Structure formats: C-alpha cells, structure tokens
Structure 1
Amino acid sequence: MKRAVILIFIFLCQFSFGQVQDSIKAKVPFENRYGQTKIFNCLRTGIGFQKSFQTEIGYSRMKYTTGCTGFFSKTYYSSLEYIPETANFDDVFGLKVGLEYNLSIIAVALEAKYQTDFVTKDFVITPKIGVGLSYINLFYGYTISTNKNPFPNFGNHQISLIINLPLTSKNQTQ
C-alpha cells in the first residue's frame, strides 16, 4: 500500500511537470501579459494635520505600471508646504522632496523637508506608510527633526491626504 501511494505521487508529479506551456499564457498576447507602463506629470496637492493644519502644492512625476497581478507606481515629487499662523506662532513655509511607492493599496514614502518661519529653521525627514491608489494616498508619517523640534506647534505624528492630478502622460515601452 505504501509503495502504491509513492508510485501514484511520483506519477502525478511527472504528469504535472510535463506540461509544455501554460494554456492561459498561450492565449494572452505578450504585451498584455506583463502590463503597461505610463509616465505621468502631475500636479501634487495635499492637506494634513500635525498639531496644526498644513497644505502643500507642487509637481510630481509618476511611473504607473499595471499587469495581471495588480498595479505598482513610483512617484518622485517636490512641493511647497504652508502652515498658517496660529495664535502664538507665525506662518511656516517648507520646501520638500520625496519618493513614494504604491503596491496595490499599500503606500510607503520618504520625504525630506526644509521649513522656516524666516526666524527659526529646521530640516526634517519623514518616513510614511499608508493606503492609496497611486493618485490619491492617505499617509501616517513620523517626523524626525534635525534641530530638536524648534516649532512647538508641530508634533512628530502627521496625517496627510495627498492627491496627484495627472496633467500629461506618455506610454513607456517594456
């Protein structure tokens, strides 16, 4: 009985590995099997909260790839950030650059930002994680200051909603 089970197992393994080609791949044209890649130039807008309201506007360049397993995107961006004055603090302006990756609905990002109120200045790095669909992302970020958080109206925890609005696009050949 033990030998019969082993022989059946070996026979089934040989039969399954003996297929010449995958029947599904044979019916799908080559270019559709691996997806399409488009490059978008986008207007980047965003709002967020980090103990105080913040908004941003800028430019982003997104490489968006679709395929039979879902989508993937990589976005480089640069934007200007504005944090309006509060009762005790002046307006704060920031210049930031960053990189975002999306894989299906999971989004990760890393950004570097120089911020100032024209008296005090700071350079911060913010790793982010969130959910999104490449064009629109909701992030949680943890801000790491290089100057011991000189702006008390900012916290270390940041929630932001980012929208990349495509302006132009072009196909990229694989």
Structure 2
Amino acid sequence: MNKNFFTTLLAVFVLLAPVAAQENSGFMFPNRFGLSMQKKLGVDVGLISFNQFTDSSPMTFYDISLGVESYVTNPFTLAPKLSFDFGLGDMILFGGGIDVSLPTDFSKHTWMFTPKVGISIASIMRLYYGYNQFGKENGFPNLGNHRVSLEINLAAFHDFGIGL
C-alpha cells in the first residue's frame, strides 16, 4: 500500500470526527443502488449498512456499508466492497468517502482503493468523483482510474419515513 492511500484515509477520518449524528440511525438493508462509469459501466448494490443521519443544522450523515459492484467487462468482473461515506451541509451536502474493494474476474484479483468526493441531495442522491488505485501495478486496466458514480441511498428513505 502506498503513502497516498494512507494520507487519503486519514483525511476521511479527520473529516468524519466532528460529525455528531444522533438521530435516525441503525442497520439498513438493502441500503444503496448505484451506477458508476469508469472505462466500463458498473452496477453497485449495497447489501447492508450502518447509517447515521441527523436533520439538525447543519444536516450530516455518515455510513459504513458492505456491498458488491459488478462491471460490464469481458471477462465479467465482480468486486465485493466496503464503503465509508459522509456528508456535511444543508439540503445539498458536500460528501465523500472511500471504497475498498476486491475486483476479480475469477482468474485474477487485486485490491482497489477509491477515495471519492462529491455532492449529495439530502443524503438520498449522491454524485461522486473517485480515483481508483489498484494494489497491483497493472490492476484491472479495463476499469481505468477515473470513476464517476451516481448512487441512490435507500437507507435515507428510512430516515425520512418513506416506506421501504
């Protein structure tokens, strides 16, 4: 692992430290559905998360989730992942986090670390830019380094009392 990864991870945790969300928290499943675009299309499904959210001023959220992302590649690539997300602000929040995943095409695998930043609308819709960093030098070149993702945070529907 390189120095940039640890620096990014430290920055994410420093930003999370002042977040004091106390309301509407708990385990949620499923918690996320998203699409990502790098060199290839990805479909992201969050299976379970621990979510904390508050509507106090300023609105804040953070969550830790387990999920899986699949990529439309040849051969098919699947990536179980652990995600850390946070947001600070009002109705439109500044957000970010990091995804740690293990892409595999069932013949090879490597770790992939994706620090991400972006915006979130009331924690429901999240738009992120991420930079994929691979544990092995070649990694998965068919995925590339730059990623844009759009996520629907299903856990937020629980927070707002919308039936899921």
TM range (shorter): 0.7 to 0.9
Task: Quote the RMSD (CA, aligned, Å).
Answer: 2.2
**Aligned residue in 1 for 2:34:** 46
Moved more, 153-162 or 41-50: 41-50
Letter of the 2:80 partner, please give it.
L
Asked if the contact 2:69/2:80 (under 8 Å) is kept, the reply is yes
The 5 Å alignment of 1:32-111 reads 37-40=23-26, 41-42=28-29, 43-58=31-46, 59-67=48-56, 69-85=57-73, 89-104=74-89, 105-111=93-99
Does structure 2 retain, via aligned residues, the 8 Å contact 1:78–1:97? yes
CA distance in 1, matches of 2:22, 2:104: 42
Tell me if structure 2 keeps the 8 A contact 1:55–1:81. Answer: yes
Q: In structure 2, what is the Cα distance between the partners aligned to 1:36 and 1:154?
A: 38
- Name the structure 2 match of 1:21: none
How many residue pairs get matched? 133
Which structure shows the higher strand fraction?
1
Deviation digits for residues 25-53 of structure 1 (CA, Å, limit 9, x no counterpart): xxxxxxxxx99611151421110101010
Amino acid at match of 1:149: N
Compared CA separation, residues 70 and 120, structure 1 to 2 (3 A) = same
Question: Is the aligned partner of 1:161 residue 2:150?
Answer: yes
CA distance in 2, matches of 1:63, 1:35: 6
Aligned residue identity for 1:102: G
- Is the aligned partner of 1:127 residue 2:99? no
Bigger CA drift: 96-105 or 159-168? 159-168
SS of aligned partner of 1:125: strand
TM-score normalised by structure 2 residue count: 0.74
> Which of 127, 135, 149 is equivalent to 2:138?
149
CA–CA separation in structure 2 for the residues paired with 1:64 and 1:39: 6
Deviation at 1:146, TM superposition (A): 0.7
- The aligned amino acid for 2:24 is K
Shift of 1:136: 1.4
What runs of 5+ residues in structure 2 fail to find an aligned partner?
A: 1-19, 160-164
Tell me the distance in 2 between the aligned counterparts of 1:35 and 1:114: 30
How far apart in 2 are the matches of 1:157 and 1:120?
21
Higher Rg: 1
| Native 8 Å contact 2:21 2:52 kept in 1 | no
- Deviation by residue 1:116-151 (Cα, 9 ceiling, x = unmatched): 001111101110000003221000001111111332
The TM-score with structure 1 as length reference comes to 0.70
Identity of aligned residues (%): 27
Secondary structure in 1 aligned to 2:61?
A: strand
